[in-house]
Amino acid sequence: MFRTLVPSNPIFALLPQLRQIHASAACCKVQAGRYKITQRRDKPLTYEMANPPHFIAHRKSWNSWDTTTLKDGLRAAETAVEDVFIRRFMTGTWHDLFCSEVIIKRQHNMIRIAGLIRQNIPARKMYFLIGYCEELLSNWLQCPVILELQTITKKEDTYFKFI
């Protein structure tokens, strides 16, 4: 059924590429999750952005801790939809104040949301927004939600390096 090609076969004279080894060039590699270096090296990166994806569990914590493998836990699709909803709700409520990524930690029945925010609003408004977010998210997600926010004076304080 299958015919083996032997070097004495006349087809090798017509198609010499059958005997060659093909490999992709080093410049054709796709590097996902890495940022391109600019010529002037003026693009700022935070610590989270500076570490490549293969260092996620070693140098930094997971941005969403997965609890879908627990008994009677949520399915992966529901968890992903909830995480996207939480991130959009937080960035919309704290408009232009988040300086880092929204970190979501699911621990048993509790959701902890962490991040760095700029200190551009009065303390009274900040405490109102914290209570507002915790109360609404707790009612929508049917579990306790705790916000762990840290304030910084300006966004430039979060820059780790320039590329």
More confident residue, 3 or 130: 130
pLDDT by residue (tens digit) across 65-116? 555 565 555 567 788 888 899 999 999 998 888 888 888 888 878 899 998 8
38-52, 55-69, 101-115: range with lowest mean pLDDT:
55-69
Tokens representing residue 154 in the block: 């300006």
| Residue among 77, 51, 70, 73 at smallest CA distance from 62 | 51
- pTM for the whole thing? 0.65
Task: Show me where the domains of the chain are located.
Answer: 32-162
d(CA 105, CA 19): 54
Give CATH for domain 32-162. Answer: 3.30.300.20
pLDDT by residue (tens digit) across 103-149? 888 887 889 999 889 888 899 999 999 999 999 999 999 999 999 99
More confident residue, 64 or 144: 144
